Chain A
Amino acid sequence: MSLSIVIEFIINVLSMGSLYALIALGLVIVYGICKLINFAYGEYITAAAYLLVFCAGLSLPWWVAFVLAILGGALIGFLSELIAYRPFRGRSLDALLVTSFGISIILQRVFQVFISPRPKAVNLPAFMSATISLFGITTPLRNIIVIITTAVLLLVLLYIMQKTPLGIAMRAAAENFTTARLMGVNANLVISTAFIISGFLAGFVCLFWVARTGSVEPTLGASPLLIGFIAVVVGGMNSLPGAVVGGYLYALVANVLSLALPTSLLSYRDAIMFVIVICFLVLKPEGLIRGNYQEERVG
C-alpha cells in the first residue's frame, strides 16, 4: 500500500469523523441533560438546509446564507423545546420518546407539504466543491474545511463547558439535575441552552452534509440521525467526549468496512453497523467513555 493511499484514507476518516462527531455532539448534549433521545434532531438539519436553499433563492452572499442557516438551526432547536418538549418535562421516558418521534414525523411532513416532496438543488459557493492537492493526493477542499471547523467548534465548546458559569451549570445538570437545581441552577435556561447548542451544531452539520449530497429533501435528516445514534451509543450515551470519540470511531469503522467488504455485502453495511450498536448496548452499555451512567437494567 503506497503512502498516498494511507494519507487519503486518513483524510477521509478525519473529515467524515469530524462531521459525525458534530452530529453526535448535538444529540448527546440534549440527552445528557434531559434524558431525551431527540428524533427531531435530524429535522433540525433538514430545516437549516432548506433555509440555505431559501437564501440562495434570494441571492444573498454565501456567508450570509451560511450564518442564517446556522442561526436558523439554533432557532428551531430552541422553538421545538419551548413548544413541544416543555409540556413533557418530568414525564415518563416513554412519553418523551413517542413525542420526539411524533415531532420528527410532523416536521418531515411539514417540509413535504409546505415546501416540496421532491429534492431541491442547493447552490453552494465554488470553494465547497473545489479540490486541492495535499501531500501528493487530491481531495475536496471541504474535507479540510470540516476538519478545521470541527476542531475550532470543539475548542469553543470545551471553553464554554469548562470555564463559563453557564457551561459549568450545564455539566452539573447533566450529572444530577435535581441537585443542580437545588444549588440554584435555572432549569429552563440550561435546557434551552442545550437545545440551542444542539440546533447550532445541526446548522454546521447541514452545511457539510448538503455539500456532499448537493440537494435537500424532506427525509434528509434520517441518515445523519442514524449516524448520530451509532456514534453516541458507541462513545457513551452520557459523555460529551464520548460522542466525539464515537463519531471518529464510526468513520473509521465505516471506511474500513467500505474497503474490506466485498461489493455483494456492501449494501449491508448499515446492518453491520447496527449489529455493532446492539452488541455495544448489550455488552458495554456505558460506551467507550463512561459518563455519569445511570444503570437501568435487571437480570
Chain B
Amino acid sequence: MAKNRIKNNHGISSKLSTPIMLSVILVLVGYFIWWLNIPFVQDIYTSAAITLVMVLGFQIFNGNSGILSWSYVGFVGIGAFSSAIFSMTPQMKSMQMPEMYPFLVNIHVPFVVALILGAIVAAIIAAVVAWPMMKISDDAGAITQFALLIVIHVILAQWSKVTNGPRTFTLGGQTLTTIWVAMISGVVVLFIAYFFKESSLGLKLRATRDDRYAACSSGIDMVKTRYLSYIFSAAIGGFAGGLYSHYILSINASAFYMTLLFNLLSMAVIGGKMSVSGAFFGTILLTLARQGLRQIEPVLTNMGVNASGSTEIIVAVLMIVFLVFRANGIMDRYELSPSSLKSLFSRKKKAEKKSA
C-alpha cells in the first residue's frame, strides 16, 4: 500500500526534494558562516535559524488552517519559560528567583531533554484549552485567539513563583543554543513542517482552509483536525521558545507578545504562509532586511533623527504592500522543488517566445 502511494507521487525523491533543498541551503550557509568565524554574523545566523523554527511552527497551524493564530506566540513563551526552568541548576534558580516554588527549583535535566519538555508543556496547555476554541472561525475565531494570547501573557507576566513575574528571568550560564543546535533544529523542523503539510492530517487541515463546508461534507472532522494541528503547532512553538531562551539567556513575558507576533506574521505573509518554502524565504528575506535597516537606524540617530522603531514602520508598510499586490506572498502555495523550478523556467521561455 505504502509503496503504491509513494509511486503515485512521482517517486520518493520528489516528495523529499523540497525539505532537502531548503535544508541544503540552510546547512551550506550555516557552514560557511561558521567557517567565516565572525561572531556578529554567527549571531545573526543563529537568531535567524531560531526565528525560522518559530515561523515554521506558526505556518503549521496558521498557514494550513487559514485561522490567524495570535495565541501561537503565547505558546512560544510558555516553552521558553518552562524549558529554562527545566534546564537551570537548582543553585542558579534559588539565587535568581528566590520566590519560585520549591518543587520547580529542584528539577534539573539536560538541555535537549529540557527543550523537548518545553515543547510538551506547551502542547499540554494547548490541549487543555483549545478544544472549544477550534469550533469558531473567522472574526470570532480571531478574537478568541487574541483573547487567549492576552490571558497567557498576563499569567506569564504576573506569576512570580514560576516566571519571576514582571521582572526579567535570567538563565545564567553559557549559551546552550549554539549555531549548530540552531541549524540542526532548523533542518529537523523543516522536515517536520513539510511532512505535516503532506500528511493526512495536514491535507485535511488544508481542505478545511480552502472550503470549510465541502471539507465537512466529505467527512472531515474539522474540529478534531484543527485541534490536533493546533497542539502540534503549539509544541513546535514551545520548542522554538526553548531554543530562544537558551540563546538570549534573559527573557521577559513581554518578549512573547505583539512585537514577536508581528515579526512572525510579517515573515509568513511576505514569504507566503501557505507553503513551507514561503516561511523559509520569508524568514531569510525579513531577517536580512531587518538587519540592514537596523544598521541604518543608529546612523540616523547620530544625525539627530530619532529613528528607533522606523524598521517596524518599513516592514509593516512592506507587508501591507504585499497584501495589496500579492496577497499570498512570494511563494503563494508553491514549494521549492526541481519540478517547480523547471516549470518556472519553461514558463519564462514560453513567455519570451510569445513576445518574440
Chain A interface residues toward B at CB < 8 A: 31, 35, 37, 84, 87-88, 91-95, 97-99, 101-103, 105-106, 109-110, 112-113, 116-117, 226, 229, 233, 237, 267-268, 270-271, 274-275, 277-278, 281-282, 285, 296-299
A268–B223 Cα gap in the complex (Å)? 30
Chain A residues within 8 Å of B216, by CB: 298-299
B309 at the interface (CB under 8 A from A): yes
A106–B310 Cα gap in the complex (Å)? 9
Q: Is the CB of B309 within 8 A of A113?
A: yes
| With A37-B142, A106-B316, A267-B158: A285-B309 Cβ-Cβ less than 8 Å | no
A226–B320 Cα gap in the complex (Å)? 23
| Shortest Cβ distance from residue B136 to the other chain A in the assembled complex, whole angstroms | 5
| Shortest Cβ distance from residue B275 to the other chain A in the assembled complex, whole angstroms | 16
Q: Is the CB of B147 within 8 A of A281?
A: yes
| Shortest Cβ distance from residue B55 to the other chain A in the assembled complex, whole angstroms | 15
| Shortest Cβ distance from residue B249 to the other chain A in the assembled complex, whole angstroms | 25
| With A99-B320, A102-B319, A113-B308: A270-B140 Cβ-Cβ less than 8 Å | no
B159 nearest in chain A by CB position: A268
Which of A97, A116, A299 has its CB near the most chain B CB atoms (within 10 A)? A299
Starting from the known contacts A84-B320, A112-B309, A226-B150, 20 additional A-B residue pairs (CB-CB under 8 Å) come to A87-B324, A91-B327, A94-B66, A97-B142, A98-B265, A98-B319, A99-B320, A102-B266, A109-B310, A116-B306, A233-B143, A268-B154, A268-B155, A274-B154, A277-B144, A277-B147, A278-B151, A281-B143, A296-B137, A298-B135
Chain B residues within 8 Å of A87, by CB: 324
Contact of A102 among B147, B221, B320 (CB under 8 A): B320
B41 at the interface (CB under 8 A from A): no
Contact of A278 among B133, B222, B266, B312 (CB under 8 A): B133
Could you jot down 17 A-B contacts, CB within 8 Å?
A37-B139, A91-B323, A93-B138, A93-B139, A98-B269, A98-B319, A102-B262, A102-B319, A109-B312, A109-B313, A113-B308, A113-B309, A116-B306, A281-B143, A282-B135, A298-B213, A299-B222
A87–B325 Cα gap in the complex (Å)? 10
A-B contact count (CB 8 A): 136
Q: Is the CB of B68 within 8 A of A298?
A: no
From DSSP, what is the main secondary structure of chain B's interface residues?
Answer: helix
A282 nearest in chain B by CB position: B132
Which of A101, A110, A282 has its CB near the most chain B CB atoms (within 10 A)? A101
A109–B320 Cα gap in the complex (Å)? 15
| Shortest Cβ distance from residue B260 to the other chain A in the assembled complex, whole angstroms | 12
| With A102-B319, A282-B133: A270-B143 Cβ-Cβ less than 8 Å | no
Q: Is the CB of A270 within 8 A of B133?
A: no
Q: Is the CB of A296 within 8 A of B140?
A: yes
Q: Give chain B interface residues in 189-223, CB to chain A under 8 Å.
A: 212-213, 216, 221-223
Contact of B306 among A92, A95, A97, A113 (CB under 8 A): A113
Chain A residues within 8 Å of B324, by CB: 87-88
Chain B residues within 8 Å of A271, by CB: 150-151, 154-155, 158
Q: Is the CB of A106 within 8 A of B313?
A: yes
B307 at the interface (CB under 8 A from A): yes
Q: Is the CB of A117 within 8 A of B269?
A: no
Contact of A95 among B307, B316, B327 (CB under 8 A): B327
| Shortest Cβ distance from residue A127 to the other chain B in the assembled complex, whole angstroms | 35
Chain B residues within 8 Å of A91, by CB: 323, 327
Q: Digit string of B247-268 for contact with A (CB within 8 Å is 1, else 0)?
A: 0000000000010001001100
| Shortest Cβ distance from residue B253 to the other chain A in the assembled complex, whole angstroms | 12
Chain B residues within 8 Å of A229, by CB: 143, 146-147
Q: Is the CB of B312 within 8 A of A274?
A: no
Chain A residues within 8 Å of B269, by CB: 98
B227 nearest in chain A by CB position: A299
B234 at the interface (CB under 8 A from A): no
Chain A residues within 8 Å of B317, by CB: 102, 106
| Shortest Cβ distance from residue B49 to the other chain A in the assembled complex, whole angstroms | 25
